[in-house]
DNA sequence: GCCGTTTTCGGCCCGACTGTTTTCAGTCG
C-alpha cells in the first residue's frame, strides 16, 4: 500500500472528526501526520510488513501509528468505520458549501433534519433556515446561492486552464495606472497541478481606494461584496480574491497569500520558537516591527534557507537534504523526447519538428509515435516504423548540429511484453513503454505487468507511470515504489509527462526516486507545436518535488544522452 | 493527538470578514 493511500484514509478521518466538532488540535494532529506521510521516502506498509524498526515519523505517535498498522492490514481502521457509520453523509456534503463549516452543518442537520442538498434548498425556499438561531435572511440567501455553486461544482481546474484566466487578469492589472504593484499568489503561484481560485495581492497608488476602483471597472463577471481590504470577484467561473495592502506590506502579504496553509503553520511555529511573530503584514519581534523587502528576507530573518513558491506545500521544504537553490529550470532542458508525428496521431512532420526544436535551441529530439496496438491513435505497423527510421537516418545525415533519436511509444501489452519483435526494436535508439489499455487489473497484476516491461532491455523510459488524468480519471492501481525501484535498477528513466492533464509521475514521489538514484525525463508528449510548450508544467512539478538538474535525463547533452541510451553513462 | 535541552502536562499560528448580535462565534485562507 502506498503512503499516499494511507494518508488519504487518515485525511478522511480528520474530515470526519472536524465535522463532528472534535477538538481542533486533534484534527490538526491528523492533518499534520498526513503531510508527514506524503513527505516520506520509504514505504511504510513495506517497512511494517518486513518487521524492520519503523523510523520515527514526525507527527505520528502511538495512536496514529496503530491506525496506520490497521490500515496496512485491513485497508481501514475501526475508529474511522465507527465515525463514518455514525456521521450522516449530508454533514460532509453540506460542509462543501462555502460558508458552511462543521458547526453550521451540524446545526442545520439537527434542527431542520435535512438529508440532502435538495432538502436544504427547499428548507431555504420555505424560509426555515432563516428562523434558526444564529442564522438570518442573509445567511439563508447566501447558502441558497452557494448550493448552486456546489451543484455546478466550483471545481478545481487544471493549472493550465487557471493560467488562461490568470494571464487575462495579469494583462488587465498591468493596464491600470492606479495599481502600483500586484502579484497573483495562492496555489497558482505555487504551481499546484490543480487550482481552485486565484488570490491577488495588490498595492494601489497612494490615496487611491484601489478595490473600489477595480469594482467599477466592469472587468469581472461578478463582484461579490467585500471590505476595504478584500473583495471577492468571479471571472470565467473562477473565484478571484483581491486583497489590498500598503507598499511596505507587499512582500509579507505576497508570502502569506502564496501559502500553503501547511507551510505557514509550520513556519509560524518556527517563528514562535525564535520569539518572532509572522503575519501577512510584517514580522514582529516583541512589539518591534521588522521591515521586509523581499520574500528572501523573510526566510533569512527566520534563520531558514529561501524556499521557492513551488516548494511551499509543507511536505519537503523543511528537510535539510534538499538544495532549493539548485532546482531544475526550463533552461536546463537540452532536448525533447516523447514527440508524436503525423505518422500516428501527431500533426507535425519530421521536418516541422526539426525546425521547431532548432528554433528553441534544443540539441536533440526523440521521436516516439504510437505503437501498432494503439489502433485508435494510428499506431505504426512494422513497415511504417521501419520507413520512419530510414527517414530519420536521412535527416540526421544532413544535419550536423541537431540529432533525432529514433524511438517508439510502445504499448505495454497485458502480459507486460512490448508491441514489436526484437528484430524491429533493435533498430531503435529508445523505447518508451506505456500502458494505454487494460486498466482494470489488480494491483499485483498491474505492477508485474509494468515491472516486466521495465525489465525489457529495449525499454529506456517508462511513460506516464500511473495513467492518471487529472480531474477525470484516477491512475491505475500500481505499486509505485516497486516501479520506481525497478526503473532505477534497470536504468530506465521515469517520465514526468508534462501534459497538464497528466503531470504523471506525481511530484510527491520524486524524492523517493532521488533517494534511489533514479532519473526522471521531462516529456511534453507533444502531438502538435503547441504541445511542446507543456514542458513548462513538467518543470514546475519537478521543482515542486525538489528535483535538481542532474536527476533529469534530458538535461544531458547529445553525446551524454547517446551514451545513456547505449547503457554507457 | 503529538510533543518536549525551561515542560510527561499544557500548550499547539494568525487575522479578516460576515452575520447576527449587543460582544462574538463561525468560517476562511
Q: What is the CATH number of the domain that holds A74?
A: 1.10.150.110
Q: A354 and A370 share a domain?
A: yes
Strand (E) positions, A416-487?
430-434, 459-462
Q: How many CB atoms lie within 10 A of CB A136?
A: 12
Q: A13 and A137 share a domain?
A: no
Report d(CA A299, CA A459) in Å as an integer: 44
Report d(CA A244, CA A247) in Å as an integer: 9
- A295, A326, A357 — which closes off a domain? A326
Is the pLDDT reported for residue A228 higher than 70?
yes
Q: What is the CATH number of the domain that holds A261?
A: 3.30.210.10
Q: A417 and A531 share a domain?
A: yes
Q: A179 and A66 share a domain?
A: no
Positive or negative CA dihedral for A373, A378, A379, A385?
A: positive
Nearest to A535 by CA among A492, A491, A494, A502: A502
Instruction: Pick the most confident of A192-196, A222-226, A472-476.
Output: A192-196
Q: How many CB atoms lie within 10 A of CB A511?
A: 20
Is the pLDDT reported for residue A14 higher than 70?
yes
pLDDT digit string (tens) for A375-386? 777 889 999 999
Q: A184 and A56 share a domain?
A: no
Q: Which residues pair with A504 in a beta bridge?
A: A497
* Percentage with pLDDT > 70 across chain A: 99
Q: A296 and A436 share a domain?
A: no
Predicted pLDDT of residue A152: 63
Q: What is the CATH number of the domain that holds A556?
A: 3.20.20.140
Report d(CA A194, CA A197) in Å as an integer: 10
Positive or negative CA dihedral for A385, A555, A520, A190?
A: negative
Tell if A225 CB is < 7 Å from nucleic strand B. yes
C-alpha pair distances (Å), A171 with each of A22, A196, A325, A361, A532: 45, 20, 30, 28, 24
Q: Å between A293 CA and B29 C1'?
A: 23
Range of the domain at A435: 330-565
The C-alpha torsion from A443 through A448 and A449 to A450, rounded to 10°, is 90
Tell if A272 CB is < 7 Å from nucleic strand B. yes
* SS percent in chain A: helix, strand, coil, step 5: 45, 15, 40
C-alpha pair distances (Å), A406 with each of A315, A368, A453: 39, 7, 19
Q: Å between A523 CA and B20 C1'?
A: 55
Q: What is the CATH number of the domain that holds A107?
A: 1.10.150.20
pLDDT digit string (tens) for A507-560? 999 999 999 999 999 999 998 888 999 999 999 999 999 999 999 999 999 999
Q: A321 and A343 share a domain?
A: no
Report d(CA A198, CA A236) in Å as an integer: 11
Predicted pLDDT of residue A493: 97
Region A71-88: what's the mean pLDDT?
Answer: 90
Exposed, middle or buried by CB within 10 Å (0-12, 13-18, 19+), for A89? Answer: exposed
Predicted pLDDT of residue A150: 75
Is the pLDDT reported for residue A154 higher than 80?
no
> Closest nucleotide (CA of A267 to C1')?
B13
DSSP, collapsed to helix, strand or coil, labels residue A33 as: helix
Nucleotides of B under 7 A from a protein CB: 1-3, 11-21, 25-29
Tell if A26 CB is < 7 Å from nucleic strand B. yes
User: Residue A260, preceding bond cis, omega within 30 degrees?
Assistant: yes
pLDDT digit string (tens) for A318-344? 888 888 889 999 999 999 999 999 998
Given a contact cutoff of 8 angstroms between Cβ atoms, the answer to whether A503 and A195 are in contact is no
Given a contact cutoff of 8 angstroms between Cβ atoms, the answer to whether A490 and A452 are in contact is no
Q: Å between A28 CA and B11 C1'?
A: 14
How many domains does one find in chain A? 5
In which band, very low, low, confident or very high, does the pLDDT at A469 lie, cut at 50, 70 and 90? confident
Predicted pLDDT of residue A514: 94
In which band, very low, low, confident or very high, does the pLDDT at A430 lie, cut at 50, 70 and 90? very high
Grid cell in block for residue A292: 521586509
Positive or negative CA dihedral for A216, A220, A225, A226?
A: negative
Is the pLDDT reported for residue A183 higher than 90?
yes
C-alpha pair distances (Å), A64 with each of A19, A499, A521: 19, 37, 36
Instruction: State the distance between the two ends of chain A, measured CA to CA, in whole angstroms.
Output: 33
Region A126-135: what's the mean pLDDT?
Answer: 85
Q: What is the CATH number of the domain that holds A170?
A: 3.30.460.10
Q: How many CB atoms lie within 10 A of CB A334?
A: 19
| Residues 97-126, chain A, CB closer than 7 Å to nucleic strand B | 97-105
| A528 phi, psi to nearest 5 deg | -155, 175
Is the pLDDT reported for residue A49 higher than 80?
yes
Report d(CA A361, CA A401) in Å as an integer: 10
Region A412-432: what's the mean pLDDT?
Answer: 94
Q: A547 and A401 share a domain?
A: yes
Nearest to A98 by CA among A154, A49, A152: A154
- A121, A152, A183 — which closes off a domain? A152
Predicted pLDDT of residue A569: 73
Region A253-264: what's the mean pLDDT?
Answer: 93
Angle, in degrees to the nearest 10, between helices A3-19 and A102-112: 60
Report d(CA A298, CA A302) in Å as an integer: 6
Report d(CA A281, CA A255) in Å as an integer: 10
Q: A367 and A447 share a domain?
A: yes
Is the pLDDT reported for residue A151 higher than 80?
no
In which band, very low, low, confident or very high, does the pLDDT at A495 lie, cut at 50, 70 and 90? very high
Q: Å between A99 CA and B28 C1'?
A: 8
| Residues 273-292, chain A, CB closer than 7 Å to nucleic strand B | 277-281
Report d(CA A339, CA A368) in Å as an integer: 5
Q: Which residues pair with A223 in a beta bridge?
A: A233
Q: A446 and A374 share a domain?
A: yes
Q: A405 and A516 share a domain?
A: yes
Report d(CA A17, CA A7) in Å as an integer: 15
> Closest nucleotide (CA of A58 to C1')?
B2
The C-alpha torsion from A537 through A539 and A541 to A545, rounded to 10°, is 180
> Closest nucleotide (CA of A30 to C1')?
B1
Region A416-444: what's the mean pLDDT?
Answer: 92
- A101, A135, A152 — which closes off a domain? A152
Q: A140 and A225 share a domain?
A: no
Amino acid at each position: 500500500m502506498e503512503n499516499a493511500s494511507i494518508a488519504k484514509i487518515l485525511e478522511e478521518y480528520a474530515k470526519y472528526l472536524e465535522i463532528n466538532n472534535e477538538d481542533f488540535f486533534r484534527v490538526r494532529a491528523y492533518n499534520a501526520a498526513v503531510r508527514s506521510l506524503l513527505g516520506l521516502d520509504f514505504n511504510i506498509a513495506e517497512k511494517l510488513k518486513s518487521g524492520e524498526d519503523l523510523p520515527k515519523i514526525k507527527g505520528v505517535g502511538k495512536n496514529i501509528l496503530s491506525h496506520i498498522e490497521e490500515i496496512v492490514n485491513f485497508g481501514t481502521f475501526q475508529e474511522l468505520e465507527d465515525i463514518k457509520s455514525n456521521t450522516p453523509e449530508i454533514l460532509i456534503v453540506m460542509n462543501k458549501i462555502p460558508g458552511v463549516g462543521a458547526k453550521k452543518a451540524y446545526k442545520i442537520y439537527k434542527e431542520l433534519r435535512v438529508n440532502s442538498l435538495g432538502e436544504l434548498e427547499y428548507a431555504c425556499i420555505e424560509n426555515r433556515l432563516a428562523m434558526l438561531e444564529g442564522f438570518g435572511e442573509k445567511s439563508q440567501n447566501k447558502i441558497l446561492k452557494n448550493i448552486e455553486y456546489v451543484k455546478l461544482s466550483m471545481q478545481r481546474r487544471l493549472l493550465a486552464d487557471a493560467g488562461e484566466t490568470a494571464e487575462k487578469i495579469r494583462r488587465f492589472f498591468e493596464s491600470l495606472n492606479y495599481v502600483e504593484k500586484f502579484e497573483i499568489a495562492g496555489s497558482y503561484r505555487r504551481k499546484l497541478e490543480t487550482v481552485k481560485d486565484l488570490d491577488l495581492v495588490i498595492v494601489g497608488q497612494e490615496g487611491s481606494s484601489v478595490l473600489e476602483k477595480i469594482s467599477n471597472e466592469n472587468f469581472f463577471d461578478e463582484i461579490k461584496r467585500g471590505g476595504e481590504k478584500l473583495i471577492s470577484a468571479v471571472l470565467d467561473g473562477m473565484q478571484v480574491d483581491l486583497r489590498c495592502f500598503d507598499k511596505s506590506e507587499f512582500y509579507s502579504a505576497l508570502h502569506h497569500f502564496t501559502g500553503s496553509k501547511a507551510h505557514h503553520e509550520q513556519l509560524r511555529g518556527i517563528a514562535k520558537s525564535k520569539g518572532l511573530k509572522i503575519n501577512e503584514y510584517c514580522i514582529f519581534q516583541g512589539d518591534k516591527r521588522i521591515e521586509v523587502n523581499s520574500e528572501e528576507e523573510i526566510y533569512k530573518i527566520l534563520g531558514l534557507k529561501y524556499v521557492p513558491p513551488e516548494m511551499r506545500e509543507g511536505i519537503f521544504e523543511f528537510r535539510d537534504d534538499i538544495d532549493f537553490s539548485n532546482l531544475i529550470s526550463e533552461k536546463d532542458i537540452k532536448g525533447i523526447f516523447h514527440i508524436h508525428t503525423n505518422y500516428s496521431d501527431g500533426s507535425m512532420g519530421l521536418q516541422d519538428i526539426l525546425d521547431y526544436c532548432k528554433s528553441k535551441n534544443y540539441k536533440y529530439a526523440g521521436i516516439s509515435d504510437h505503437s501498432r496496438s494503439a489502433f485508435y491513435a494510428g499506431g505504426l505497423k512494422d513497415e511504417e516504423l521501419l520507413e520512419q527510421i530510414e527517414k530519420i537516418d536521412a535527416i540526421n545525415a544532413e544535419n550536423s548540429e541537431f540529432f533525432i533519436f529514433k524511438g517508439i511509444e510502445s504499448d505495454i501489452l497485458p502480459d507486460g511484453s512490448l508491441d514489436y519483435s526484437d528484430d524491429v526494436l533493435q533498430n531503435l535508439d529508445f523505447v518508451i513503454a506505456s500502458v494505454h489499455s487494460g486498466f482494470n487489473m489488480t494491483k499485483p497484476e498491474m505492477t508485474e505487468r509494468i515491472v516486466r516491461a521495465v525489465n525489457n532491455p529495449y525499454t529506456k523510459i517508462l511513460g506516464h507511470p500511473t495513467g492518471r488524468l487529472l480531474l477525470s480519471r484516477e491512475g491505475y492501481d500500481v505499486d509505485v515504489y516497486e516501479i520506481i525501484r525497478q526503473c532505477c535498477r534497470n536504468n530506465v528513466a521515469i517520465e514526468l509527462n508534462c501534459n497538464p492533464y497528466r503531470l504523471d509521475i506525481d511530484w510527491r514521489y520524486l524524492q523517493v526516486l532521488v533517494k534511489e538514484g533514479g532519473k526522471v525525463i521531462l516529456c511534453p508528449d507533444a502531438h502538435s507545436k503547441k504541445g511542446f510548450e507543456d514542458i513548462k508544467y513538467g518543470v514546475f512539478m519537478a521543482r515542486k518535488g525538489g528535483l535538481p538538474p542532474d536527476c533529469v535525463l534530458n538535461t544531458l547533452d547529445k553525446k551524454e544522452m547517446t551514451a545513456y541510451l547505449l547503457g554507457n553513462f
